[in-house]
């Protein structure tokens, strides 16, 4: 079973004066179905640095929740930790997958401008994945319609908002839907996760070959 770093949301409990690290239990169920074991990363930079330095891992997953600080989010400590995870993972040549906010962080790290988008908070949304219609969920208010030369688009919503990207050379993938919230889990998602963390990332056949001007 491959071991992957998994980032967590910051859940703020003002009544108790607490900032809690949290991960939906559905993630463990989903990752288990993909033969993956989660190594939870704390949202404390020094602790995260110690964890990454002391443990061996096979890749990283940036999960959803919390807006990025650049989008008005209130969890800057998470941004710091996830950028550390991203840099260390890529420096080691290991796979990295971003989900929703995680994909937004990937886009931001590659200099892609993101804008506020309407109509993308839905339990069910039809998109095109590799040109083929598919139904997924959608829970985001920020996105993009163009990427950068390094990232190719392989899924879009009907309004043109990008729903998935893949790096042209590095083992980096991002999706804007939440595979862990699908009931039952989509076979396409479990296959994607297995492929990414097995090091079998390939540009999908028929993916858009588009580049920013």
Convert the pLDDT of each residue in 95-135 to its tens digit: 999 999 999 999 999 999 999 999 999 999 999 999 999 99
- Tell me what pLDDT residue 200 has: 83
Residue ranges and CATH numbers for the domains of the chain are 2-197 (3.40.50.880)
Residue 173 has pLDDT above 90, yes or no: yes
The per-residue DSSP string of 15-30 comes to TTTEEEEE--HHHHHH
Catalytic residues: 100, 178, 180
Q: What is the mean pLDDT of the chain?
A: 93
Under 8 Å between Cβ of 61 and 50:
no
Tokens at 201, concatenated:
């990332």
pLDDT, mean of residues 170-198: 96
- Tell me what pLDDT residue 204 has: 45
Torsions phi, psi of 27, nearest 5? -65, -45
- Of all residues in the chain, the percent with pLDDT exceeding 70 is 94
- Tell me what pLDDT residue 29 has: 98
- Tell me what pLDDT residue 206 has: 42
Tokens at 81, concatenated:
């930790």
- The strand pairing partners of 81, in sequence order, are none
- Tell me what pLDDT residue 202 has: 57
- Tell me what pLDDT residue 210 has: 39
CB-based burial of residue 67 (10 Å sphere; 0-12 exposed, 13-18 middle, 19+ buried)?
Answer: middle
Q: What is the C-alpha separation between 3 and 35, in angstroms, rounded? A: 9
Under 8 Å between Cβ of 4 and 31:
yes
């Amino acid at each position: 079973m491959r071991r992957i770093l998994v980032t967590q949301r910051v859940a703020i409990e003002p009544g108790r004066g607490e900032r809690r690290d949290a991960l939906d239990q559905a993630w463990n169920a989903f990752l288990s179905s993909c033969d993956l074991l989660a190594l939870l990363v704390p949202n404390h930079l020094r602790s995260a640095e110690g964890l990454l330095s002391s443990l061996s891992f096979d890749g990283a997953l940036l999960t959803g929740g919390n807006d990025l600080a650049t989008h008005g989010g209130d969890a800057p400590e998470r941004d710091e930790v996830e950028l550390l995870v991203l840099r260390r993972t890529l420096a080691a040549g290991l796979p990295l997958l971003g989900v929703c906010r995680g994909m937004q962080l990937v886009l931001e790290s590659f200099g892609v401008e993101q804008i506020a988008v309407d109509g993308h908070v839905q339990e069910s949304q039809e998109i095109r994945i590799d040109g083929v219609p598919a139904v997924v969920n959608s829970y985001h208010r920020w996105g993009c319609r163009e990427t950068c030369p390094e990232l190719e688009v392989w899924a879009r919503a009907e309004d043109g908002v990008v729903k998935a990207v893949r790096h042209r050379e590095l083992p980096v993938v991002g999706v804007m839907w939440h595979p862990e919230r699908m009931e039952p889990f989509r076979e396409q998602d479990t296959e994607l996760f297995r492929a990414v963390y097995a090091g079998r990332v390939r540009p999908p056949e028929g993916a858009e070959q588009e580049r920013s001007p």
